[in-house]
Amino acid sequence: MNHLLDTFHLAQLPPEAEAFRAEVKAFLADMQPKAPPSKRARSWMGFDADFSRKLAGRGWVGITLPAQYGGAGLDPFRRFVLVEELLSAGAPVAAHWIADRQSGPLILRYGTEAQKAAYLPKICRGEAFFCIGMSEPNSGSDLASVRTRATPASDGWVLNGQKIWTTNAQHCQYMIALVRT
């Protein structure tokens, strides 16, 4: 085996992650009947804010975010197990998916302390849902050609432009958007 790839070899999950699997499976068995394979294959598109709030009530939305922001502060292995079991069961994860897996970690890494305090606890409580605004008319997937602009204002930024094909935008309170400054 290539020495570089040895770094990524994991023979098994840590015991605490495998023990967590039973807890997740029991929760899912109580929450929903086993979905047929055709539905499970599309489960990541199922938007159910109530289901996401129930996960959040168990500390499973923001599972790897620090406790100081409302997260569970758990390791990535338990997050892996949680995602694996949610998708395997066909659970509706779209409501919290972007906030939990993309927006929250971005805010944690690049946000100001005020932004972290404002958004991360809401994400962890299942109260803040995010979408991603990238594609635009006449741009498609050519992200280098986006035209939406953000200009500084006294109380933040003024955005001027359009976004299209923004999955679940109609259900979300927030958008992480690709813009020009």
Convert the pLDDT of each residue in 82-120 to its tens digit.
Answer: 999 998 888 889 999 999 999 999 999 999 999 999 999
Give residue 89's domain range: 15-28+41-128
Same domain, yes or no, for 113 and 157? no
How many domains, the chain?
A: 2
pLDDT at 129 over 90: yes
Same domain, yes or no, for 80 and 20? yes
Same domain, yes or no, for 109 and 148? no
For position 4, what pLDDT does the model report?
A: 54
Q: Measure the CA angle with vertex 55, ends 53 and 61; round to 5°.
A: 90
Residue with tokens 């020495």: 3
pLDDT at 69 over 70: yes
pLDDT at 140 over 90: no
List the CATH number of the domain containing 62: 1.10.540.10
Same domain, yes or no, for 64 and 147? no
Residue-wise burial string across 137-167, b where 16 or more C-beta atoms lie within 10 A, e elsewhere: eebeeeeeebebeeeeeeeeeeeebebeeee
State the pTM of this model: 0.85
For position 40, what pLDDT does the model report?
A: 66
